[in-house]
Amino acid sequence: MSELIEHANAIEWRFERQVLRLEPWGKHSLRVRATCAPEFNSELHALLTPESCQAEILRDAETLTLRNGNISAVLNLKGQLAFYNQHGELLLEEMWRQRSTVGIGASEKSQDKYVSALKLDGREFKPLPGGKYQLTVRFEARNGERLYGMGQYQQPWLDLKGCSLELAQRNSQASVPFVQSSLGYGLLWNNPAIGEASFAKNHTQWTARVTQEMDYWITAGDNVMELTRQYAKATGTPPAAPEFISGLWQCKLRYRTQQEVLDVAREYHRRNLPLSVMVIDFFHWPNQGTWCFDPTDWPDPQAMVEELESMGIRLMVSVWPTVEARSPLFPQMKAKGWLVTSDRGVQVNLDFMGNTTFFDATHPQARQFVWDTVKKNYFDYGIKLFWLDEAEPEYRAYDFDNYRYHAGPVLEVGNRYPRDFAQGFYDGLRAEGENEIVNLVRCSWAGSQRYGVLAWSGDVHSSFHSFRNQLAAGLNMGLAGIPWWTTDIGGFQGGNIHDPEFHELLIRWFQWAVFCPVLRMHGYREPRIQPPESYRHGIPQCDSGSPNELWSYGEENFAIMQRWLGVREALRPYIDELYANAHHHGDPLMRPLFWHYPDEAQSWQIEDQYLFGRDLLVAPVMHVGQRQRDVWLPGDHQWVNLQGECYQGGQCISVPAELETIPLFIREGSPLISLLVK
């Protein structure tokens, strides 16, 4: 016989080995856990400990109801769950298909859908050898529902309804499992296991391939802004952003020597082009897993840092988690258990430029050791910005079942790796008294934002097809609670600096990046430049790409980018305010139209334009050869273009889009009008 148990501030259902527990977890929010173990573990995963709040508990003959502000959970004797908002409207309900009628709070006729011979439960713990479980959680699908967030996937769809998403980290894919519904709820799948989320037409299904318990957090609100802010309270907001973050960042694969870096910085200074950050990419080290400069090419890092700072430029360096077998640190790290291990085969995780193993970012001592090494070899020279590349980490083969971390097998805990990688650097910098922390990271998980993570979209291809994917990726990252986000302007892989077709892509991408959180030049440009020596001390030497500075693509293209760089500079006070808002509330800088115009149907349908803050409507040009595009103007107010022409909201207009420009509109009454309109 099952039991419904009422506690002081929680409710439970128990049957056989399974225990289901619901408790308030922040404003208008609940944490929902289930396990077949004797007791729940103490892991918070992505969540923070909330401020205390008292829920209301109601009981009748067959149900318990837990009400916390705008959300109520109804739990019946069969262990089935449904969630409602403050108006009594159904938000989400578990999907059960059993022979007996199992509807919760539904009419007798509407319960017919639950009666079935399929024998499917809303929560299914399938035992695995060794004692853990494969978990499947099923919810009913809803007609007309739209779903957003979930992180970054290389696809063009902003609305994720109908999509099946792998819950795993890969190069250019960031699994951040917080989804927001147009029905007025948000759900965090608070489980770092490898799995899948399927938002199908017939049901919604979450799976974890190996786990001990079910854990999710659900919140209710009247609009996306409320849901985002409640999620930010539950998992954290980004730290206060430093002023330099909103300026131009210069990078390429790769500046090979200290002299190259200084030459580029001096040229920016000579041309009077504002530059905030200079970035040194990978293989500036003697070998992977040494975490230091190669003194042959970088003879005086401190002098380099000091000269850059005299020009107002901060320096960021790339740090990889790879440790090559010939690194002098490898034996100690292996003996201490600070490296990722393989359950089968050779203990090599990646064979790029050497046989390497990743350091185990889930191991607190390993994180501390890497930070201590980085502090001595970078931070003590004045370098305080770090590029945490390969942060998925990027396995040679994504055979997640073959790898094991200190925290557990990758199938059970794998998605937390990039967050833990960033946490090691964040904690180290804070211990040194630093408050302006920015970690450029090629992946993220729920909660990464609170460790100063600036996510970027990975090694995406230099093509218009890939370009279009990045808009959806950036907007959904913001809706998943990661407001600091950027891309490689022009894409990473490919792009010949002499090719006019690539020039068009680069210009369109640069124009769009002006209205992204970070404006960052990067890419592996063709033709590639071979190193002066193939090996140094037996270690393979990496090649480099062609120049990637603003002036590298001819005077005509330089003039266009220089003009838009001027727009970015003019906007920086406005962008800094958006960063401050992200810090205080968790609001994204890039926002879908329905963020500010939720009552207008077209705001939910248009996915190729967005709002940069409240005042700027951006309609990027993302097709080759396009010189005209349609723009929908929301609201019952006017919008002003850069020529000072006014257009009434609530209409679709066709606007010119010559290569020199990007369609941009300013909300009437904004101080940006006097700043930008000439």
**What residues have CB less than 8 Å from 532, skipping those under 6 apart?**
none
Show the CA angle centred on residue 192, arms to residues 467 and 15, nearest 5°: 135
What is the token pair recorded at 321? 């988690």
CB atoms within 10 A of CB 344: 8
- Supply φ then ψ for residue 112, to 5 degrees: -55, -30
Catalytic residue among 94, 389, 412, 587: 389
For Cα atoms 435, 481, 202, give the angle at the middle one, nearest 5 degrees.
Answer: 165
Among 124, 145, 226, 459, the one annotated catalytic: 459
Instruction: Say if residues 666 and 677 touch (Cβ distance below 8 Å).
Output: yes
Q: Which listed residue (392, 420, 488, 600) is catalytic? A: 392
Residues in the chain: 678
Within 147-252, where are the H helices?
Answer: 224-235
Contact 551, 503 (CB under 8 A): no
DSSP state of 239: P
**C-alpha–C-alpha distance, residues 581 and 241, integer Å:** 10
Based on the residue annotation, tell me whether 577 is a catalytic residue of this protein. Answer: no
Q: Are 415 and 428 in contact (CB under 8 A)?
A: no
Known active-site residue 343: no
HSE-up (13 A, CA, CB side) for residue 34? 21
Residue 297 annotated to the active site: no
Pull the structure tokens for residue 558. 């330089």
Beta partners for 455? 441, 485
| Angstrom distance (rounded) from CA 450 to CA 447 | 6
**664, 618 contact by CB (below 8 A):** yes
**Which candidate, 598, 588, 587, 594, places its Cα nearest to that of 609?**
594
Give residues with Cβ within 8 angstroms of 613, minimum separation 6.
Answer: 574, 575, 577, 578, 589, 591
Question: Which residues carry out catalysis?
Answer: 389, 392, 459
